[in-house]
A and B are shown apart, each in its own frame.
Chain A
Amino acid sequence: MNNITNIRDLFILLVGSSLVSNVVLSQFLGLCPFLGVSKKIKTAAGMGAAVIFVITLASAVAGVIYKYILVPFNITFLQTIVFILVIAALVQFVEMFLKKLIPSLYEALGVYLPLITTNCAVLGVALTNVQKNYGIGTGIVNGFATAVGFTIAIVILAGIREKMEYNDIPESFKGMPSVLLTAGLMAIAFCGFSGLL
């Protein structure tokens, strides 16, 4: 098992998953919300918070299910089916739970939750945790760090997009193309983090 034993490993995992191999800018997971919900910093931050919440929770649940159900019964080949069903059901359950019990949090995150149901970043993290043999605790840390990386990227992109809105851009490059170019430049900048580890 590839588990954390000291604080140094923990820090390396946090930096590695959030900055060095950023989930959007170097692994291309969760690209749809990254491009689709980044018009304003406020909505981007809301989306980021929802993603942090869901990914952390989903990696915990997926980790527990993998260790205590799939492995003992020797049915690990079913991981894709089980994970996607569990994640999709979990997201909807969380939505109903928040709506009933914590309305203030629901106000802030609720609109974004349905978008995360089939978000590839959530499933991607669960599968990566299994692939890399992370234990449950390490998996949760990895999930949290990945989601923080997503939030950093989407908030930065939203900030740049707000500034770019009134700029003079060639007609054909208005909208998505200019956003993609921005994302490309951000990806180059994030390549610089690879020197950190």
Chain B
Amino acid sequence: MKENRITERLFNGLIKENPTFVLTLGMCPTLAVTTSAMNGLGMGLTTMVVLALSNLIISLLRKFIPNRVRIPAFIVIVASFVTMVQLLLQAYLPSLNSALGVYIPLIVVNCIILGRAESYAYHNPPLPSLFDGIGMGLGFSVALTLIGAVREILGAGEIFGFHIMPKGYTNINIFVLAPGAFFVLAVLTAVQNYIKKKAAAKGRDVSKVGSGCSEDCLNCGDTGCSRRFYDADGSTENPNLGNNLKQADTETGKPEQADAERADTETGKPEQTDAEQAGTETEAGEEGLKDE
């Protein structure tokens, strides 16, 4: 697949660099709003709209935004879109708005958005940036919906509000409460670790897996959440740019093969895991593939 093509960008966001399952970015909303599949979907789509539009505008303005004040500029653009989306939700989907509550304005500080602005939209033309945003947003929506579905099925025996579990099933209430979110994510990252190790043993490139900074904030440079507001000495400018160029290089360096391999690892999931909860997660993963 050619670099920067629309389909490539969509595929990249959905599977190859899925923000939740692969990069592990944006954990706060992932845990907070996935009490049901519907809330997860709503949050995912809201984030997608903001992400796509802000990517588009940042990309259009990339030649006019001075490097040193790019972070404040990104924040203003993202916050404007978040405010618009929030007002629209208040007007047309008040129930979703009240279910998501304070997490809607908090989309501003979602590392996925600043991360994509910093590492993609600021260096690429508008159309690919728009579709990069849509792809990443779709990946995030699918991930949140799946996690929400797992929690809703285990915790309430329902999915999208429809009762599906057999009569004898006792709801495990804890899964819709706060601790359940941590447990689901723990199993998810364990599955991710497992797949990463398998793939690394076969000599595949796994540098992207879990590269969001959720493990080590102090050494996190790529994703933009630890950037200084005003880059007074321009110190982050050059290494960062170099980093992006390097990334772009490796991306063009590995064409279809890598994509096919990622797909392999995704479908290879079910046979390899045996733990019960891990099984649920991978089923969810399969659904994700079918959805496409």
Contact = CB atoms under 8 A, between A and B. Distances in A.
Closest 4 CB pairs of A and B: A36-B217, A184-B182, A180-B186, A28-B32
B215 A176 contact: yes
A185 B179 contact: yes
Nearest to A39: B216
A32 B229 contact: no
B27 interface: yes
A118 B71 CA distance: 10
B280 interface: no
B228 A117 contact: yes
Contacts of B218: 36-37, 43, 111, 115
A189 B220 CA distance: 30
Interface string A157-176: 00000000000000111111
Given A114-B228, A172-B193, A175-B215, A84 B109 contact: yes
Contacts of A145: none
Q: By CB atoms of chain A within 10 A, which of B102, B178, B183, B189 has the most?
A: B178
B82 interface: yes
Nearest to A37: B217
Contacts of A177: 186-187, 189-190, 193
Given A36-B218, A118-B114, A172-B190, A28 B72 contact: no
Report whether over half of chain A's contact residues are helix, strand or loop; otherwise say mixed.
Answer: helix
Interface residues of A, number: 52
Nearest to A92: B229
Interface in A138-197: 171-178, 180-181, 183-185, 187-188, 191
Given A28-B28, A128-B102, A184 B179 contact: yes
Interface string A8-35: 0000000000000000011111111101
Nearest to A184: B182
Given A28-B27, A177-B186, 8 more contacts: A29-B28, A43-B218, A77-B83, A77-B87, A89-B72, A118-B225, A123-B108, A184-B181
B178 A91 contact: no
A131 B105 CA distance: 12
A124 interface: yes
Contacts of B108: 80, 84, 123
Contact of B193 (A79, A91, A120, A174): A174
Given A84-B79, A188-B179, A172 B194 contact: yes
A88 B75 contact: yes
Q: By CB atoms of chain B within 10 A, which of A120, A175, A183 has the most?
A: A120
A62 to B, nearest CB: 12
Interface in B92-122: 102, 105-106, 108-111, 114
A33 B109 contact: no
28 contacts: A26-B178, A31-B27, A31-B31, A32-B217, A35-B215, A77-B87, A80-B83, A84-B79, A85-B75, A89-B72, A89-B230, A114-B226, A115-B218, A117-B226, A118-B109, A118-B114, A123-B108, A127-B102, A171-B197, A173-B186, A175-B193, A176-B215, A177-B189, A177-B193, A180-B183, A181-B183, A184-B180, A185-B179
Nearest to B196: A172
B80 interface: yes
A36 B181 contact: no
A79 B86 CA distance: 12
B221 to A, nearest CB: 11
A78 interface: yes
B185 A81 contact: no
A32 B28 contact: yes
A32 B190 contact: no
A24 B104 CA distance: 17
B102 A80 contact: no
Interface in B192-211: 193-194, 197, 210
Contact of A115 (B27, B71, B193, B226): B226
A79 B82 CA distance: 11
B247 interface: no
